[in-house]
Amino acid sequence: MSDTYETLKGKITAVAELTPKADKAEELLHIALQSREHGRNEEPGCLQFDVSKSGNQVITHEIWENAEALDNHRNWLRGVFGDPRTLVENYVFKFYEPLD
Report the pLDDT value the prediction gives residue 100, as an integer from 0 to 100: 77
pLDDT under 50: residue ranges of the chain = none
Domain count of the fold of the chain: 1
DSSP letter, residue 24 = -
The angle, 0 to 180 degrees and rounded to 10, between the axes of the packed helices 67-81 and 25-42 is 130
Residue 70 belongs to a domain = yes
Report the pLDDT value the prediction gives residue 62, as an integer from 0 to 100: 98
Residue 2 belongs to a domain = no
Residue 89 belongs to a domain = yes
- Could you tell me the CATH number of the domain that includes residue 67? 3.30.70.100
Report the pLDDT value the prediction gives residue 2, as an integer from 0 to 100: 63
DSSP letter, residue 86 = G
Residue 72 belongs to a domain = yes
Rg (CA), the chain: 13
At 21, which amino acid appears?
K
